[in-house]
Amino acid sequence: MKTYNVAVVGATGAVGNEMVAILEQRKFPVNKLTLLASARSIGKTLTFRGEEIPVDELKEDSFKGIDIGLFSPGGAVSLKYAPIAAAAGCVVIDNTSAFRMEPDIPLVVPEVNPHAIKDYKNRGIIANPNCSTIQMVVVLKPLHDAAKIKRVVVSTYQSVSGTGKKAIFELEQQVLAIYNNKPVEKNVYPHQIAFNCLPHIDAFLENGYTKEEMKMVNETKKIMEDNTIQVTATTVRVPVFYGHSESVNVEFEREITPEMARKILSKAKGVKVVDDPSKNKYPLAINAAGKDDTFVGRIRRDDTVPHGLNMWIVADNIRKGAALNAVQIAELLVEKYL
């Protein structure tokens, strides 16, 4: 079997750690694994297939002989280093928002638009979508194919792990401080996140929306390859460690009942229907954490429009929302193109 030299860029971060774990769990055909992060991480190691691998400093000459680069070091670092890696012959799968909306760069969710991967040849870069968008489109695509979506209204309940390791630590520390009657320290978020909800993810834009909200609007159209789908979003950070939840209201062109939607989704790749409210069964972040599937439930009719459904969608934002989706793209890349 052919094997590949793989680099994980941002290897010490929340997503980078998971990328390394998933490469091992899914037996990705890795020849040599290179771990890259900032100079702060020199001296650290990560375990891969039972071997301790040192973390190296990301530099311009880090990509010689590397076939695939899984990037999650933050937008500014990707913006600089992804083209450098691509010029050295490495195919970059980038988890940041740096390249997602560039017209010649594919933005891929393997269950939705795997064919777009072929366009990696344009710039040597494939973009991994925003976490909240990935889990939404995995569920919406099969419903769109059945009844054509007109409009989506989504509100998210996003966990702190999406912000990175510092935010996981901040929530832990704030909870401990509050229980011990100590002052709450804020470094990552502008307000206390413990026991609170912040309607603010990423920067605010002139139109009053946040960048995170506009990612959901724009990326959904690009991945679903349909600019007619109207999307409006409110994205909220909640004091949950792992797993994003979403309330999604969908208006369709054609008739689709909750029963039809459940049937379609029960056959959809990467989706699990958990929808038995009489037994208190519906998707929960604590159950989705550590899992690969996207979970959907609370599917019910919206009687205020001719063909409307409401649903609740939950997934592990670090796995399907980031690291797993990136490794799935890498799997298709080696299977079909490299």
Q: Is 105 a residue that touches ligand A2P (CB under 6 A)?
A: no
Q: Is 317 a residue that touches ligand A2P (CB under 6 A)?
A: no
Q: Are 55 and 77 in contact (CB under 8 A)?
A: no
Q: Is 21 a residue that touches ligand A2P (CB under 6 A)?
A: no
69 token code pair: 């680069």
Q: Measuring CA to CA, which residue among 135, 128, 101 is closest to residue 221? A: 101
Backbone angles phi, psi at 219, to 5 degrees: -70, -35
Catalytic residue among 115, 191, 200, 244: 244
- DSSP-assigned states of every residue in 146-171: HH-EEEEEEEEEE-GGGG-HHHHHHH
* Cβ-Cβ contacts under 8 Å for 336 (sequence gap 6 or more): 117, 118
DSSP secondary structure code for residue 107 in this structure: B
Q: Is 73 a residue that touches ligand A2P (CB under 6 A)?
A: yes
- Maximal CA-CA distance, the chain: 60
Token pair 């996981």 in the structure block, residue = 168
Helices (H), the chain: 14-25, 75-87, 120-123, 131-147, 165-179, 211-224, 258-266, 285-288, 324-336
Rounded CA-CA distance 18/225 in Å is 29
Q: Measuring CA to CA, which residue among 61, 28, 34 is closest to residue 46? A: 34
Find the part of the chain contacting ligand A2P (CB under 6 A) among 4-12, 45-53, 198-206, 272-280.
4-12
CA angle 311, 208, 132 (to 5 degrees): 35
- Total residues contacting ligand A2P by CB under 6 A comes to 17
Q: 166 or 182, CB closer to ligand A2P? A: 166
Q: Is 38 a residue that touches ligand A2P (CB under 6 A)?
A: yes
Show the site string, 43-72: x = touches ligand A2P by CB under 6 A, - = not.
Answer: ---------------x--------------
Q: Is 131 a residue that touches ligand A2P (CB under 6 A)?
A: no
Contacts with ligand A2P in 143-172 (CB under 6 A)?
Answer: 164-166
Q: Is 80 a residue that touches ligand A2P (CB under 6 A)?
A: no
Exposed, middle or buried by CB within 10 Å (0-12, 13-18, 19+), for 276?
A: exposed
Q: 146 or 188, CB closer to ligand A2P? A: 188
Q: Are 99 and 125 in contact (CB under 8 A)?
A: yes
Q: Which of 74, 83, 114, 258 binds ligand A2P (CB under 6 A)?
A: 74
Q: Is 11 a residue that touches ligand A2P (CB under 6 A)?
A: yes
Q: Which of 4, 6, 7, 12 binds ligand A2P (CB under 6 A)?
A: 12
- DSSP-assigned states of every residue in 225-280: T-TT-EEEEEEEE-S-SS-EEEEEEEEESS---HHHHHHHHHTSTTEEE--BGGGT
Find the part of the chain contacting ligand A2P (CB under 6 A) among 36-44, 103-111, 177-185, 252-260.
36-44
131 tagged catalytic:
yes
Q: Which of 26, 40, 186, 269 binds ligand A2P (CB under 6 A)?
A: 40
Q: Minimum distance from CB of 311 to ligand A2P (Å)?
A: 29
Q: Are strands 230-237 and 244-252 parallel, antiparallel or unpaired?
A: unpaired
90 tagged catalytic:
no
Q: Is 19 a residue that touches ligand A2P (CB under 6 A)?
A: no
Q: 75 or 258, CB closer to ligand A2P? A: 75
Q: 121 or 186, CB closer to ligand A2P? A: 186
Q: Is 240 a residue that touches ligand A2P (CB under 6 A)?
A: no
Q: 47 or 228, CB closer to ligand A2P? A: 47
Q: Which of 41, 158, 174, 328 binds ligand A2P (CB under 6 A)?
A: 41
Q: Minimum distance from CB of 170 to ligand A2P (Å)?
A: 11
Q: Could you list the active site residues?
A: 131, 244
Footprint of ligand A2P (CB under 6 A): 10-14, 16, 37-38, 40-41, 58, 73-74, 77, 164-166
